[in-house]
Amino acid sequence: MWLQIKAAIAIFGGIWVIFYTPIQTRRIIGGWVPAKFTGNAADYPARYVKQATRFIWVCVGIGVVCAAMIPTEDRPSDWLTDLAISVIWLIVAAMTYRARRQISAARM
């Protein structure tokens, strides 16, 4: 049961990030800076780009590990869950990469 809950969190969390990333990107390109950011407002896009780079690698790691776990599943339906998680998090990585490029292009 706990594995199903973890899988649901991974799937719904990934889908949420897929929809939230373009919204956040538009806000940052528009000049939005979070209230908790302590630096200069002009430095926030650079900080976000650096953070996005690390997040891309985390997403790729999650996607690759879940894809590598597909052959090890015992029940016939479990490989679909691993495949879904893998695909979703690789899409998150691709969208974050695209957002990073858009923010970098807007800064120049």
pTM: 0.90
Instruction: Please state, in angstroms and as integers, the Cα–Cα distance from residue 82 to each residue in 23, 67, 95, 96, 104, following that order.
Output: 27, 6, 20, 21, 33
Element counts in the chain: helices (H) and strands (E): 3, 0
pLDDT at 108: 67
| Residues 41-78: tens digit of each pLDDT | 889 999 999 999 999 999 999 999 999 998 988 887 88
Sign of CA dihedral 47, 50, 56, 61: negative
Inter-residue contact 33 to 41 (CB < 8 Å): yes
> Residues for the chain: how many in total?
108
